[in-house]
Structure 1
Amino acid sequence: MPAISEKGIAMPESPIRKLVPYAEKAYAAKKTVYHLNIGQPDIKTPHAAMEAVTMHSLDVLAYTRSDGSEGYRNKIASYYQKNTIEVTSKDIIVTTGGSEALLFAMGCIADQGDEIIIPEPFYANYNGFATASGVTVVPVQSKIENNFALPPISEFEQLITPKTKAILICNPGNPTGYLYTKDEINQLADLVKKHDLFIVADEVYREFVYDGHQHYSIMAKNGLDQHAIMIDSVSKRYSMCGARIGCLVSKNKEVMATAMKFAQARLSPPTFAQIAAEAALLTPDSYFTEVNQEYVSRRNTLIKGLKSIKGVRVGIPNGAFYCVAELPVDNAEEFAKWLLESYDYKNETIMVAPAQGFYSTPNTGLNQIRIAYVLNEDSLRKSVEILRHALEEYNK
């Protein structure tokens, strides 16, 4: 029998999606499942985006430019300029989701065996993108005790080797919801300039910032033109996960020329999705004001409920729509399977994402879960009660 590649064997499963077969068993048993495992907002996609696809006048569904349609890139640039990020359409390549932008970024800056330092826990698919790109993830651990704040810069510096090519952050963070301060961004900027590294910032949750805090983009930082690469996406911003439209942004001309070769190799981003994404840019600011208010209410409901459960500890998110909770169990993945396969409370149960998959360090986060508060408040309250009763029964 022909052999599977070592890279394929090493490719990690998604902690967000790997428990789907267990959820299907719960469905088959006629249980209601509250999905806290995946960041799929239930907020409606802006009407203008849906209407643009419905009302299109195309006769041929043709390729677009490899870097994305010029009209769309111009409008993205205008959006960024409105948010104090001075870029032009030439600094933007439209990608098939933020995922492809991350793959392009790794392909541009790192060779086989090169290293990228990432604060953990981090978006689980970074492990997969790194494996696919032959890149070694070097984790620096943030801790729930201090709300997953940026680890001391000295810890980053100790990890830098001749193989180090970049530092990768997610801001605001998935899975923690942590929002980096201006001082933390400045510290990282000084470090990458000192060691001549790239800084790659996944900023797909930039619109979701709470409690009067402000998002600081690496693209707005002076002196980082040759170092900064930003990853962005419409998936969460406009509740358009299925559109699969993102972008890679950098003022480094060599990076962009290299990324363009990767873009040409996959031909072009999807046409209809670009039409929808371009129309979504017309969404008024009031949309985000209302969405943020909704997420703050959901966050407060969830965090209050989690804190009321004996033995549960939780980080407080200031952005995105996730939190990491530490449970009084030895193995959160086994508990998550049990929730779906063997447990229900009034014929209802919950699906969560075991947090171990959001770490690169082995045997870390074993008793943690990520929760996405993308459900309405009533569903979140029910989910908390299910978790409360489930922990009591599981630990008997």
Structure 2
Amino acid sequence: MPSISNKGIHMPESPIRKLVPYAEEAQKKGKNIYYLNIGQPDIKTPQVALDAIKNNTLETIAYSRSEGAESYRIKIADYYKRNSIEVSHNDIIVTTGGSEALLFAFGSIMDEGDEIIIPEPFYANYNGFSTASGVNVVPVISKIEDNFALPPIEEFEKLITPKTKAILICNPGNPTGYLYSKEEIKQLAAIVKKHDLFLIADEVYREFVYDGVEHYSILQEPGLEEHAIIIDSVSKRYSMCGARIGYLVSKNKDFIKTALKFAQARLSPPTLAQIASEAALDTPQSYFDDVKEEYVKRRNTLISALEKIEGVKVAKPNGAFYCIAELPVKNSDHFAKWLLESFDYNNDTVMVAPAAGFYSTPGVGLNQIRIAYVLNSESLKIAVKILEEALKVYKD
């Protein structure tokens, strides 16, 4: 029998999606499930984007340029300028989702066996992208006790070797919701310049920051022009996850030139989705103001309810729409399956994401879950009540 690759064998399962079969079985049994496991917003996609698809007059859905349509990239550059980030459309490559942007970035700056330092917990697919690229993740652990703030910069310094090529952050963070401060970005900027590394920032949740704090992009930091790479996406910003449009942004010309070769190899990003995404850039600011207000309401509802459950510890997010909760259980993976297979409260149950899959250090985060507060406040109250009742009867 032909053998599977070692790379394929070591490709990690998604901690978010691997429980889907259990959820499907629970639904077949008639259970109602509150989905707290995946960052699929229930916010409506801007009408201007939907209308662009509905009203387009294309007679042929043709390839676009490999780097994305020029008109779209010009509008993306204008968007960044409105957010105090000075870039040209030539500094942008449109990709098939932020996932492809990350794969292009890894392929452009790292070879087999190279290393990338990432504060953990981190977006679970970073592990998958690293495995696919033959790159080794070197984690530096942030702690729930510190609200998942940036670990001391000395901890990064200890991990740098000749194989280290980059530091990767998600800002605001998935799964923690932590927003890095301007001072923390400056600390990272100093260390990547000192050791001549790239600094990659996944900034797909830039629009969702709360409590009067502003997002500070790595491309706003002077002197990082040759080091900074931004990963971005329309998925969360415009509630367009299914469009699968993202982009790479960097002022490093050699990097963009290299990434373009990867873009050419896959031909082009999807044409219709670019049309919708370009139109989405005309979304009025009131849309984002309303969405932020709604997420703040949901966050406050969720955190307040979780803090009332005995034995639960929760970090307060100030960005994105996720939080990490530490539960009085030994293994949240087992707990998450049990919720779907064996528990209901008034015929309701919840689906959560075990947080161990958001770490690369074995044995860390086993008693934590990630919760996405993408349900309305009333649904969140019910979901937390179900979680509270479940913890009263669950045995490890």
Question: TM-score when scaled to structure 1?
Answer: 1.00
CA RMSD of aligned residues (A): 0.6
The answer to whether 1:122 aligns with 2:122 is yes
The answer to whether 1:89 aligns with 2:89 is yes
- TM alignment of 1:328-339, pairs within 5 A: 328-339=328-339
The structural deviation recorded for 1:257 is 0.3
Aligned to 1:380: 380
The structural deviation recorded for 1:395 is 3.8
Aligned to 2:243: 243
The structural deviation recorded for 1:316 is 0.3
Secondary structure of 1:118 counterpart: strand
| Cα distance in 1, alignment partners of residues 220 and 271 from structure 2 | 30
Q: Which amino acid aligns with 1:10?
A: H
| Cα distance in 1, alignment partners of residues 311 and 25 from structure 2 | 29
Q: Which amino acid aligns with 1:92?
A: I
- TM alignment of 1:152-163, pairs within 5 A: 152-163=152-163
Q: Which amino acid aligns with 1:324?
A: I
Aligned to 1:285: 285
- TM alignment of 1:77-116, pairs within 5 A: 77-116=77-116
Secondary structure of 2:388 counterpart: helix
Q: Which amino acid aligns with 2:102?
A: L
Aligned to 2:134: 134
| Cα distance in 1, alignment partners of residues 45 and 393 from structure 2 | 39
| Cα distance in 1, alignment partners of residues 211 and 395 from structure 2 | 36
Question: TM-score when scaled to structure 2?
Answer: 1.00
| Cα distance in 2, alignment partners of residues 224 and 369 from structure 1 | 35
The structural deviation recorded for 1:17 is 0.2
Q: Which amino acid aligns with 1:332?
A: S
Secondary structure of 1:229 counterpart: strand
Aligned to 1:254: 254
Q: Which amino acid aligns with 2:258?
A: T
| Cα distance in 1, alignment partners of residues 342 and 5 from structure 2 | 36
Aligned to 1:225: 225
| Cα distance in 1, alignment partners of residues 103 and 232 from structure 2 | 13
Q: Which amino acid aligns with 1:327?
A: L
| Cα distance in 2, alignment partners of residues 288 and 59 from structure 1 | 33
- TM alignment of 1:168-317, pairs within 5 A: 168-317=168-317
| Cα distance in 2, alignment partners of residues 142 and 288 from structure 1 | 30
Q: Which amino acid aligns with 1:356?
A: A
Aligned to 2:20: 20
Unaligned runs of 5+ in 1: none
Q: Which amino acid aligns with 1:189?
A: A
| Cα distance in 2, alignment partners of residues 134 and 359 from structure 1 | 18
Q: Which amino acid aligns with 2:324?
A: V
| Cα distance in 2, alignment partners of residues 350 and 168 from structure 1 | 32
Unaligned runs of 5+ in 2: none
How many percent identity over aligned positions?
Answer: 73
Aligned to 2:149: 149
Q: Which amino acid aligns with 2:296?
A: V
| Cα distance in 1, alignment partners of residues 193 and 220 from structure 2 | 15
Q: Which amino acid aligns with 2:354?
A: P
- TM alignment of 1:306-385, pairs within 5 A: 306-385=306-385
Secondary structure of 1:98 counterpart: helix
Q: Which amino acid aligns with 2:271?
A: T
Q: Which amino acid aligns with 2:60?
A: V
Q: Which amino acid aligns with 2:80?
A: Y
Aligned to 1:389: 389
1:369-391 per-position Cα deviation (integer Å, ceiling 9, x unaligned): 00000000111000000000000
| Cα distance in 2, alignment partners of residues 4 and 314 from structure 1 | 40
Q: Which amino acid aligns with 1:57?
A: T
- TM alignment of 1:8-47, pairs within 5 A: 8-47=8-47
1:170-212 per-position Cα deviation (integer Å, ceiling 9, x unaligned): 0000000000000000000000000000000000000000000
Q: Which amino acid aligns with 2:257?
A: A
Secondary structure of 1:62 counterpart: coil
